[in-house]
Amino acid sequence: MIPGSLKKIQKHMPHHGLVIELGKSTGHIVRSLHDAEGLVVPSASQVTEYNGHLYFGSYYLDHIAVFKL
């Protein structure tokens, strides 16, 4: 459940989902994934890779998105 104040903020946030993977030793960007129109994942607060999939969680969404690598 999202508190009312967060729902108001969410309406004004840009709808562009972005996730970046950083190299463990260098900290450089290895790859990035974009949801340019924010249709599936407009905001990701946690991404976990497991068994060839990425799982996206967000404070603002009521679902978890899954992306096959």
- Between CA 67 and CA 9, with CA 64 as vertex, the angle to 5 degrees is 115
The pTM score is: 0.68
Spatial contact of 35 and 20, defined as CB atoms under 8 Å apart = no
Please report which confidence band the pLDDT of residue 2 belongs to, taking 50, 70 and 90 as the band edges: low
16 CB-near residues (< 8 Å, 6+ apart): 34, 35, 36, 37, 38, 42
More confidently predicted of 31 and 12: 31
State the Cα–Cα distance between residues 25 and 18, nearest whole angstrom: 22
pLDDT, position 30: 95
Give pLDDT tens digits for 18-65: 889 999 999 999 999 888 888 888 878 899 999 999 999 888 778 899
Domain ranges, ordered by start, for the chain:
4-68
pLDDT band at 14 (very low <50, low <70, confident <90, very high): confident
Three-class secondary structure of residue 12 per DSSP: helix
